Amino acid sequence: MAAFDWHGGAIDRDTPVCSGYRNTQNVRRFMCEQCGADFRFDRPLMAWIRSGAPRTLGDVVDEWKRRRLG
């Protein structure tokens, strides 16, 4: 299985966040589309993303919204 192209691959809420995950402009665009222009990666969120638990980008969106919007 080839590694996912975080720079140019098609991203949606079902995209798995694997050990090869990268914060690319492609990911940032997706996150801004889902979360709004105020979206920012921060250290606590990055630690949550990279904790090793199985996640999708939809989970990341939901977690960011939970942390920011209550």
Question: Quick one: pLDDT at residue 1?
Answer: 58
Query: Could you please report the per-residue DSSP string of the chain?
Result: -PPP-TTTS---TT-EE-TT----HHHHHHHHHHH-TT----HHHHHHHTTSS-EEHHHHHHHHHHHHH-
Say what the pTM is.
Answer: 0.91
- Asked if residue 9 has pLDDT above 70, the reply is yes
Q: Where are the domains of the chain?
A: 20-69
Over the chain, what is the mean pLDDT?
A: 94
What average pLDDT does the segment 31-58 reach? 95
Q: How confident is the model at residue 70 (pLDDT cuts 50, 70, 90)?
A: confident
